[in-house]
């Protein structure tokens, strides 16, 4: 079976998203609910999340967004992406996690480097 069109629509533009863990969990819950509806299964049918992903040859949506961000990273020049001009000033307080921060966090979470991503994608 193919992944439902709903997931394709939800995933659209995910290359630009920077999620917190709460948001990633909500996306995964939405995906599993959609997959259960397509399958015609209810929570009382007791299908594990792993088995549900196997039936649809799918991965969690949060992983798919990480994969999309890392794929987009391949198209950027690493040195220019991670450096900041010396004259730039930061605002006071903790900066929000942007796209570059999400990429750094993804690389750290996957225990890989920029060079490792270039070879795999």
Instruction: Tell me the DSSP string of the chain.
Output: -PPPHHHHHHHTTGGG----HHHHHHHHHHHHHHHHHHHT--GGG---HHHHHHHTT---HHHHHHHHHHHHHTTS-HHHHH---TT--PPSSPPP--HHHHHHHHHHHTT--HHHHHHH-
Q: Per residue in 11-32, pLDDT tens?
A: 777 767 778 888 889 989 988 9
The pLDDT tens digits for 54-83 are 988 888 988 888 888 877 777 665 656 566
Task: Say which residue, 33 or 2, is predicted with more confidence.
Answer: 33
Q: What is the pLDDT of residue 34?
A: 86
Instruction: Give the pLDDT of residue 1.
Output: 45
């Amino acid at each position: 079976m193919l992944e439902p069109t709903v997931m394709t629509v939800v995933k659209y533009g995910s290359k630009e998203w920077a999620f917190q863990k709460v948001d990633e969990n909500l996306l995964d819950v939405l995906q599993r609910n959609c997959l259960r509806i397509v399958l015609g299964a209810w929570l009382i049918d007791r299908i594990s999340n792993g088995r549900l992903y196997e039936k649809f040859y799918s991965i969690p949506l949060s992983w798919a967004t990480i994969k999309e961000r890392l794929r987009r990273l391949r198209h950027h020049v690493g040195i220019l992406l991670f450096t900041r001009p010396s004259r730039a000033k930061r605002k006071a307080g903790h900066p929000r996690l942007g796209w570059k921060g999400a990429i750094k966090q993804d690389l750290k979470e996957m225990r890989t480097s920029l060079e490792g991503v270039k070879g795999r994608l």
